[in-house]
Amino acid sequence: MKQTKEDEKTKVVFTTGFGRNEVFRIEDKSCSLKELKVFLLNTQNSYQQLLGSDIWNAKQNGESLEEKICSSSLERIAQIKTMRLLAEKYKITLTKDEEKRVLEAAKEYYESLSDADISQMDDITQEDIQHLYEDIAFSKKLYKYMIRDINPEVSDDEARTLTVEQIYKKTYVKDVDGNKKEMSKQQKAAVYKKMEEVKKKIADGAEFEALISTYNEAAEDTISFGKGDKEEAIENAAFNLSTGQISNIVETSDGYIILKCVTTFNKEETKANKEKIVEQRKSEAFSKEYDSFATSLSKEVNKKLWKKVTLCTDKKATTHTFFDVFEKYFGEK
């Protein structure tokens, strides 16, 4: 279910004049309703497994999770079709071993499906699954091909990750839809006064760790992060602390925070952050060329059919392993 930056690109326009159950076209690449439903059903069930069925009632910025999953699934499969076209431009092909793995993956996934699963995906066939896995295999191979010569040097200082303890108090409330709403000036002033009380207790000798349990409203007591991971106010405060030093009250976009530096250099986290930065730069290099190619293509969505696309309501359709099975055969060893 993990989604990278290159999964979020290809945007589509709405039009008419399509074949039966054809959701969209990009140049000569077409996506059928059954292909889209593979993405939708697996994503839907993966979310439900993690968060429960009540998640569909939640909204974020006025958009329901159902709407978000439908649109992101459309964009993701459109991006895969676009990458297949770009792979053809570079004359990338699958090896016999890769073709064999596509067949084996399609067979394994298809045999895991129940009658309800197959029905909900418009009577999907093993051959349909094979074609989808083939498209994804091409997109994965294209990405590796395009970043093959990108090996940026990242210094310890650039990737430095520190660890801090925090006492955070929010300056927002949530509305009925779960959206953040900023507190009034009077309410924020009351929160700031509470944080001043915390600072006074620290000055009087109270242990920071003991105050965390009483005052901290963040999900975590201790956090590790590198440059660019947090908003500027937090980073400016954190990266200027010495080990054991405590910050002043810092105003953030949605609260006030006091930090205590546990370590100015987390070796393991810094190593992981180096790898993260390298992957990010590879992704950025790929996206630059991909975006240029994608914008030159004709893209059309079947507006009439798209309006009818919804999530599955059949509780017997529980498949969620489409992407997991692919990774089993094509993931990094």
pLDDT in tens, 201-253: 999 999 999 999 999 999 999 999 998 899 999 999 999 999 999 999 999 99
pLDDT in tens, 19-68: 789 999 999 999 999 999 999 999 999 988 887 777 776 666 667 888 88
- For the chain, the domains span 5-151+275-330, 161-264
pLDDT in tens, 137-147: 999 999 999 99
Strand partners, 163: 224, 263
Indicate if the alpha-carbon torsion angle 267, 143, 37, 323 is positive or negative: negative
- List C-alpha distances in Å: 103 to 97, 99, 129, 134, 327: 10, 6, 9, 9, 14
Reported pTM: 0.71
- List C-alpha distances in Å: 309 to 10, 45, 114: 19, 16, 21
The pLDDT value given to residue 2: 44
Res. 9: pLDDT tops 80: no
The whole-angstrom distance between residue 237's C-alpha and the CA centroid of its chain comes to 28
- List C-alpha distances in Å: 141 to 75, 137, 146: 19, 6, 9
Q: Long-range CB contacts (< 8 A, 24+ apart) of 243-248?
A: 246/202, 246/208, 248/199
Strand partners, 60: 63
296 within 8 A of 8, measured Cβ to Cβ: no
The pLDDT value given to residue 17: 63
Query: Which of the four pLDDT bands, split at 50, 70 and 90, describes residue 75?
Result: very high
Tell which CATH classification among 1.10.260.40, 1.10.8.350, 3.10.50.40, 1.10.10.10 matches the domain 161-264: 3.10.50.40
Name the percent of the chain lying above pLDDT 70: 93
Name the E strands within the chain. Answer: 14-15, 22-26, 29-32, 59-60, 63-64, 161-170, 172-174, 180-182, 222-226, 250-251, 255-263, 299-302
Measure the CA–CA gap between 269 and 225, rounded to whole angstroms: 8
Measure the CA–CA gap between 302 and 307, rounded to whole angstroms: 9
